[in-house]
């Protein structure tokens, strides 16, 4: 018999409870489907643990309150979806500039503009590149199960504080709304960080003209390079001897693993890489791939294909490292992508994508 | 058992289909199986349509979303029409025959079980128990659970929610459904 542990809980509620247990004591935000359960849960739960909760008048107000609480050294979290996260970008670039840690949850829904309510992965580019003005990155974590959503919430706080950055938990509508068994993390005692404001003007005052952007740029690069070097996370299997490697994250990533297992059982030499950090992108995972791999297949839920770009950049970079160029017939492997627009692609649909790559019906993107 | 079982629970908002689906998932979990529950969300509201998909399996469930159902519970006519094509060949459809006309089933490759659950609930004196009766029918139809396993799984859920005062009524509703087929 299997050893299934934990209790049935919704993805969104698991994130909220995990944040409480990680010591988060401030939430401010504005509701939006499919993220609202996080806020609803926080509205009563924070009170129980002596934290503060604000239903702000807008997403912009909410993220600015997060700047305030983070500046005071309190573990702080806000959540929204697609267009709500657009409104938070100004606050997120400010948090990044001030090197204040915070966790922002995007329960991604499909669409441009106001969007739809459908589950999707259309915000990949924005989250991984830093969606506000300036030149910053956020650590982007992408869970594929309710358990992983809870675990990564705790990790999001730890990473945000370790590097004094914003962590984005990039989940999806489907994962936020679904229930499955989950063992919630241990309760931690909340702590206030010593660098936070104490109300006594003990922190050094630095005006805008006191800053040296050249020096800051060097420090910023050093920090981001360290994150890239040490914080890549992924799950991979069957890649050492694979002819084709699937790359997918989140719910489509999880569905892809099921399809790969089925294809393997049928004798196909396929493997998968499931990025857990979208930034830093898990480039190291690609180093383990069969050097004679025939292609990479990106499975993602958006209209235009976004993850496919990072796969192609990684494949090209590794091709260069190995000294291969196209002259001797050893071009970097082609990268394919059939964006499934929204939802979670079925096992059948993923297997059909593979068949189309084999038959030549699907042309490579890169 | 097969790799996994997929069940769609559909009806109008307020008929308790999301609860029945969750009960099914909890029964599976109670038995030590993997289980996922995923609702249609967003624009669904009271009086509109509501549905959820439950999968359970001895091994990890890679894709919790709706793919091809082994079983459909249709509590009203629009849900029946909408999800009729989603059921696998050789699958099972359980309908609330107080609201759905069995003669309207256009498929001959599925097994149809007609249950007058609203009338049965009235007879049991548990007007709100129609969905629990259906939980009994569905869990029996999967062929994976004993009546005791189903009962214990369900009662544990309601105890956790502090709703054990309805345990006798809910137990008799579940038994009525389980014994119907």
* Per-residue pLDDT tens over the stretch A115-160: 999 999 999 999 999 999 999 999 999 999 999 999 999 999 999 9
Does residue A331 surpass a pLDDT of 80? no
Segment B111-119 shows an average pLDDT of 97
Instruction: Count other C-beta atoms under 10 Å from residue B55's C-beta.
Output: 28
Confidence of residue A202 (pLDDT cuts 50, 70, 90): confident
Q: Do A178 and B29 make contact, defined as CB atoms within 8 angstroms?
A: no
CA distances for A264 relative to A155, A244, A345, B4, angstroms = 32, 11, 19, 18
Residues of B in contact with A346 (CB under 8 A): 63, 65, 67
Contacting B residues, span 83-102, partner chain A, CB-CB under 8 Å: none
- Residues 6 or more apart whose Cβ sits within 8 Å of residue B178: B136, B137, B139, B140, B147, B150
Q: Do A174 and B22 make contact, defined as CB atoms within 8 angstroms?
A: no
* Location of structure tokens 């099921």: A258
Provide the residue range defining the domain that includes B46: 5-178
Is the bond preceding A34 in cis, omega lying within 30 degrees of 0? yes
Closest alpha carbon to B50 in B86, B17, B96: B17
- Alpha carbons within 13 angstroms on the beta-carbon side of residue A41 total 20
Over residues A255-301, the pLDDT tens digits come to 999 999 999 999 999 999 999 999 999 999 999 999 999 999 999 99
Closest alpha carbon to A270 in A243, A249, A252, A296: A243
At residue A205, the pLDDT reads: 85
Over residues A176-191, the pLDDT tens digits come to 999 999 999 999 999 8
Of B29, B42, B58, the CB nearest to A181: B29
Query: Contact A274/A233 with Cβ under 8 angstroms?
Result: no
Residues of A in contact with B65 (CB under 8 A): 174, 251, 255, 343-344, 346
Segment B162-166 shows an average pLDDT of 86
Most confident range, picked from A37-51, B12-26, B117-131, B161-175? A37-51
CA–CA distance, A16 with A38 (Å, rounded to integer): 5
At residue B1, the pLDDT reads: 56
Q: Do A1 and B32 make contact, defined as CB atoms within 8 angstroms?
A: yes
Collapsed DSSP state (helix, strand, coil) of residue A43: helix
All structural domains of chain A with their residue ranges:
7-230, 235-359
Give one DSSP letter per residue of A329-366, joined into a string.
T-PPPPEEE----SS---HHHHHHHHHHHHHT-SPP--
Closest alpha carbon to A66 in A35, A36, A42: A42
Strand partners, B56: B5, B35
**Nearest C-alpha in B relative to A261:** B62
- Residues 6 or more apart whose Cβ sits within 8 Å of residue B130: B15, B16, B75, B96, B117, B118, B120, B121, B173
Average pLDDT, chain A: 95
CATH of residue B67's domain is 3.40.920.10
CA–CA distance, B32 with A147 (Å, rounded to integer): 17
Residues of A in contact with B67 (CB under 8 A): 346-348
Q: Which of A34, A115, A179, A346 to mutate to test the interface with B (most CBs of B within 10 A)?
A: A179
Does residue A1 surpass a pLDDT of 50? no
Does residue A38 surpass a pLDDT of 60? yes
CA distances for B87 relative to A174, A226, B181, angstroms = 21, 51, 20
Phi and psi at residue A65, in whole multiples of 5°? -70, -35
Fold of A7-230: Rossmann fold (3.40.50)
Strand partners, B41: none
At residue A2, the pLDDT reads: 53
At residue A321, the pLDDT reads: 67
Segment B141-163 shows an average pLDDT of 92
- Counting the structural domains of chain B, the total is 1
Residues of A in contact with B61 (CB under 8 A): 180
**Do the two domains A7-230 and A235-359 of this chain adopt the same fold?**
yes
Over residues A83-102, the pLDDT tens digits come to 999 999 999 999 999 999 99
Instruction: Count other C-beta atoms under 10 Å from residue A32's C-beta.
Output: 22
Strand partners, B92: B71, B111
Q: Do B64 and A34 make contact, defined as CB atoms within 8 angstroms?
A: no
Does residue A251 surpass a pLDDT of 60? yes
Confidence of residue B45 (pLDDT cuts 50, 70, 90): low
Query: Contact A86/A311 with Cβ under 8 angstroms?
Result: no
Contacting B residues, span 139-158, partner chain A, CB-CB under 8 Å: none
Q: Class for domain A235-359, per CATH?
A: alpha beta
Give one DSSP letter per residue of chain B, joined into a string.
--S-EEEEEEEETTS-HHHHHHHHHHHHHHTT-EEEEEE--SS--TTSEEEEEEEEESS--S--S-S-EEEEEE-SHHHHHHHGGGEEEEEEEEEETTTS-GGG---SSSEEEEE-HHHHHHHTT-GGGHHHHHHHHHHHHHT---HHHHHHHHHHHHHHTT-GGGHHHHHHHHHHHHTT-
Confidence of residue B157 (pLDDT cuts 50, 70, 90): confident
Segment A355-363 shows an average pLDDT of 97
């Amino acid at each position: 018999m299997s050893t299934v542990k934990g209790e049935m809980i919704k993805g969104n509620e698991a994130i909220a409870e995990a944040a409480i247990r990680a010591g988060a004591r401030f939430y401010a935000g504005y509701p939006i489907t499919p993220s609202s359960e996080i806020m609803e849960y926080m509205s009563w739960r924070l009170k129980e643990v002596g934290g503060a909760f604000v239903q702000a008048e807008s997403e912009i107000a909410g993220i600015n309150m997060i700047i305030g609480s983070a500046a005071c050294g309190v573990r702080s979290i806000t959540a929204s979806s697609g267009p709500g996260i657009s409104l938070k970008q100004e606050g997120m670039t400010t948090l990044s500039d001030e090197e204040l840690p915070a966790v922002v949850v995007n329960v991604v829904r499909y669409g441009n503009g106001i969007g739809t309510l459908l589950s999707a992965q259309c915000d990949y580019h924005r989250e991984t590149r830093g969606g506000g003005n300036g030149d910053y990155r956020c650590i982007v974590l992408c869970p594929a199960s309710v358990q992983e959503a809870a675990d990564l919430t705790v990790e999001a706080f730890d990473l945000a504080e370790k590097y004094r950055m914003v962590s984005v938990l990039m989940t999806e509508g489907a994962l936020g709304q679904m229930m499955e068994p989950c063992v919630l993390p241990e309760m931690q005692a909340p702590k206030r960080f010593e660098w936070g404001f104490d109300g006594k003007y003990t922190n050094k005052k630095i005006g805008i003209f006191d800053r040296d952007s050249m020096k800051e740029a060097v420090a910023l690069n050093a920090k981001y390079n360290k994150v890239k070097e040490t914080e890549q996370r992924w799950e991979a299997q069957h890649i050492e001897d694979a002819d084709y490697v699937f790359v997918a994250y989140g719910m489509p990533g999880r569905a892809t693993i099921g399809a790969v297992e089925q294809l393997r059982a049928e004798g196909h030499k396929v493997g998968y890489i499931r990025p857990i950090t979208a930034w830093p992108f898990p480039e190291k995972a690609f180093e383990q791939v069969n050097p004679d791999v025939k292609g990479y297949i990106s499975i993602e839920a958006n209209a235009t294909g976004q993850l496919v770009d990072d796969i192609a950049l990684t494949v090209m970079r590794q091709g260069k490292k190995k000294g291969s160029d196209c002259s001797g017939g050893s071009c970097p492997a082609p990268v394919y992508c059939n964006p499934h627009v929204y939802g979670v692609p079925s096992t059948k649909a993923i297997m059909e994508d593979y068949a189309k790559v084999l038959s030549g019906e699907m042309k490579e993107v890169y | 058992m097969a790799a996994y079982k997929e069940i769609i629970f559909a009806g109008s908002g307020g008929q308790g289909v999301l609860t029945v689906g969750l009960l099914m998932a909890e029964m599976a979990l109670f038995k030590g199986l993997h289980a996922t529950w995923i609702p249609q969300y967003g624009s669904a509201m009271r009086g509109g349509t509501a549905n959820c998909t439950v999968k359970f399996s001895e091994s990890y469930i890679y894709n919790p979303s709706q793919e091809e159902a082994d079983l459909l519970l249709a509590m009203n006519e629009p849900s029946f029409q909408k999800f009729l094509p989603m059921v696998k060949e050789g699958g099972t459809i359980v309908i609330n025959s107080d609201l759905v006309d069995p003669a309207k089933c256009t498929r001959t490759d599925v097994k149809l079980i007609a249950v007058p659950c609203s009338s049965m609930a009235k007879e049991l004196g548990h007007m709100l128990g129609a969905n629990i009766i259906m939980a009994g029918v569905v869990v029996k139809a999967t062929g994976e659970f004993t009546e005791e396993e189903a009962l214990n799984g369900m009662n544990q859920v309601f105890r956790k929610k502090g709703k054990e005062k309805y345990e006798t009524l809910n137990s008799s509703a579940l038994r009525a459904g389980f014994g119907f087929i």
